[in-house]
Amino acid sequence: MFTKVLVANRGEIALRVIRGCRDLGVATVAVHSEADRTAAFVLLADEAVEIGPAPSAQSYLVIDRIIDAAKATGAEAIHPGYGFLSENQQFARACADNGIVFIGPSPEAMAAMGEKVPARQRMRDSGVPIVPGSDALEDVEGAVAAATEVGYPVLIKASAGGGGIGMRVAHDEKELRESLEAAQSTAQRAFGNATVFLERYVDSPRHIEIQVLADTHGNIVHLGERECSIQRRHQKILEEAPSPTIDAATRARMGEAAVTAARAVGYVNAGTVEFIYSNGEFFFLEMNTRLQVEHPITELVYGVDLVVEQLRIAAGEVLQLRQEDLVPRGHAIECRVNAERYAKNFMPSPGQVTGYREPSGPGVRVDSSLAAPGMVSPNYDPMIAKLIVWAPTRELAIARMRRALLEYAITGISTNMCYHLAILDDPDFISGDYTTHFIEGHPELIAAAEAWEERKQPFLRVLRDPARAAAIAAAAVAVS
């Protein structure tokens, strides 16, 4: 095992990796921007190195500064977390060139799965089902011809990147002609690669992903599925495991397909194979060659610490998990707690957190970037924390999440917690009968969330004015 690992990330995922290292007795180095000098992950690491100003392009995305920090502190390995440089082939190669272990897949595996067009071809050749679609498009006439063959409606998708950035739906030739150039331009700006392709727009789609672990000795296992269909603007906000719609037989088939996909590219470490599921069929979408934001729900359902497994695999250990032993137990739900105004199209709402109190009790876990009141910077993703619950049944998991959201108090900024409460109360969510169109198809959730805001106000007022709360308590004691 390593003696020291540098964490090339920030916020809750940096703290999560530090915890995994600490469980194994591994020392940690945090790199941070000027804005993050007093962040919890910086203060809790064994060492910290400042690498630049607040903008990520001048700090967390500067490969040379991160490599220099690792060399200066004697870190043998780098864990990239998710986002930033986690799927950057150049970064993985720079680690190797400097004798540093990159805790993730090889640059070659990243390249094989990093662009969707060649990845689709590789999956098709390996027997993994893919959504009917096109190869890379060169011009609008080629796109029109491909769409005629695939059949409308079609999705225009960027070959590079992810997160739904630049994705557009075309229901007919007119929409396709109007949207193609914009999609290419968005892809170029976001990923430095203007390549786009078409996929058939699948009716009533669900977003199902399979977690895989692969070691350097040829062993690969899957750890079941995560249901990730509750999304806004193609960004996940609530996930659950197992999926309320996937049965054991389908889980086994999807798991086998995910393992096949990983084996086809010689994949090593933790990864996630994403599928679209509809009417009993599933199709390969892409592979995320890193740890996912929503990994905690898999950890709770399967009793596996994925970060610890990543560290062990990167250190060359043999995977001790066996597929026959990996059986889902109970149900887990994750709500991403974001600094945003849900009633204003989920607009980010960074700023100073003036009061902060985490929930607790049976089955509750909080992976947060905050340990106390502090600043949510406008320079980074608006996610503050991940609230995760586990229970023996889905019904009890929903109840526990509702209880935890009511206890979770953040003041000074707007968050989406009450929007999550509205989702949990929706009949379609409760029944498990939902698709990736859930949020756009339920505009009434905003009014329901505002009603939950009113219900939470008395508790939040106490957090905002602790002196008043103390006076009330003292008066009550005096009366008694």
Active-site annotation, residues: 290
How do the residues of the chain divide into helix, strand and coil, expressed in percent and rounded to 5?
40, 25, 35
With vertex at residue 332, the alpha carbon angle to CA 327 and CA 338, rounded to the nearest 5 degrees, is 145
Those residues whose C-beta lies under 8 Å from the C-beta of residue 141, and which sit 6 or more positions away, are: none
User: How far is residue 8's CA from residue 28's CA, in Å, rounded to a whole number?
Assistant: 11
Ramachandran category for residue 35: left, alpha or beta (phi over 0 → left; psi -120 to 50 → alpha): alpha
Q: Is the peptide bond before 153 cis (omega within 30 degrees of 0)?
A: yes
With vertex at residue 141, the alpha carbon angle to CA 138 and CA 142, rounded to the nearest 5 degrees, is 50
On whether the CB atoms of residues 290 and 82 are closer than 8 A, the answer is yes
User: How far is residue 462's CA from residue 468's CA, in Å, rounded to a whole number?
Assistant: 7
Ramachandran category for residue 149: left, alpha or beta (phi over 0 → left; psi -120 to 50 → alpha): alpha
On whether the CB atoms of residues 212 and 195 are closer than 8 A, the answer is no
Look at residue 15 and give its three-state secondary structure: helix
- Three-state SS string across 291-303, please? CCCCHHHHHHHHC
Those residues whose C-beta lies under 8 Å from the C-beta of residue 421, and which sit 6 or more positions away, are: 402, 405, 406, 448, 449, 452
On whether the CB atoms of residues 368 and 12 are closer than 8 A, the answer is yes
b/e map 73-83, b = 16+ CB within 10 Å: bebbbbbbbbb
Which among 149, 435, 109 has a CA at the least distance from the CA of 276?
A: 435
Residue 150's H or E segment, with its range, is helix 140-150
| DSSP states of 328-382 | --SEEEEEEEESEEGGGTTEE--EE--EEE---STTEEEEES-SSS-EE-TTS--
